[in-house]
Amino acid sequence: MVSLERLLAWLRTLAAVFAQAKGELTDLDAAIGDADHGINMERGFAAVAAELESNPPADIAAALKSTAMTLMRTVGGAAGPLYGTFFLRAAACAELRELAPADWAAAFSQGVEGVRQRGKAEPGDKTMLDALLPAAVAMQEAQREGCSLPEILRRAERAAAAGMAGTIPLLARKGRASYLGERSVGHQDPGATSAHLLISAAADLLA
């Protein structure tokens, strides 16, 4: 089960995760974007940690909604609206005191569908969806097989990692990278990378 306390530990840890990954994400984004993804993700999740500390949420849905609104307010570029939408949609499926594996998989999948709709992206477009969607599919499959939460999250992390690596040979069809045409080929997508980091941290902390 995912309790409010465990969820908050994950959200707070993401501030440290993205602070550590700022350089990597910035370098990836410099190759095909605005070179600000690392800075934006660090700033956004630092703000999330501060907000959760100063205004403790009463339940899981409130924590996810707070995260969504903070990211939309503080993260520049496309990442703020997209990650904000992910957490906001997930919150709509998380109106419980604790999330069982099926509840977590459902909330994650709804969040990913929100990203898909907001960004008007599809798999293969070289975006964060290329990591998020395989993770959501892996979660749903593992949950239907009756796997434990740790196994569900491990499978999701592996699927996200494969999806992230799979963006390297892709031609970007969305966002700033799409302006580069063929020059976008051969570079790992920074959004898919940050999505993998988010899922990897969940596998470490929520399992």
Q: State the chain's mean pLDDT as an integer.
A: 94
Rounded Cα distance between 86 and 78, Å, is 12
Please report the pLDDT score of residue 181 as a whole number.
74
Residues of the chain with pLDDT > 70: what percent?
99
State which H helix or E strand residue 141 sits in. Answer: helix 129-144
A 10 A CB-CB count for 185 gives 14
**pTM of the model as a whole:** 0.95
- Identify the CATH number of the domain in which residue 107 sits: 1.25.40.340
Q: Are strands 98-99 and 2-3 parallel, antiparallel or unpaired?
A: antiparallel
Could you report how far apart the first and last alpha carbons of the chain are, in Å?
Answer: 9
**Quick one: average pLDDT of 66-82?**
94
pLDDT in tens, 95-136: 777 899 999 999 999 999 999 999 999 999 999 999 999 999
Please report the pLDDT score of residue 108 as a whole number.
96
Rounded Cα distance between 132 and 71, Å, is 18
Beta bridge partners of 2: 99
Rounded Cα distance between 102 and 10, Å, is 19
Residues of the chain with pLDDT > 90: what percent?
83
pLDDT in tens, 26-71: 999 999 888 999 999 999 999 999 999 999 999 999 999 999 999 9
Print the domain residue range for 24: 2-205
Q: With a cut of 80, say whether residue 177 has pLDDT above it.
A: no
- Tell me how many degrees the CA angle 145-148-152 measures, rounded to the nearest 5: 75
pLDDT band per the 50, 70, 90 thresholds, residue 175: confident
Could you give the number of structural domains in the chain?
1
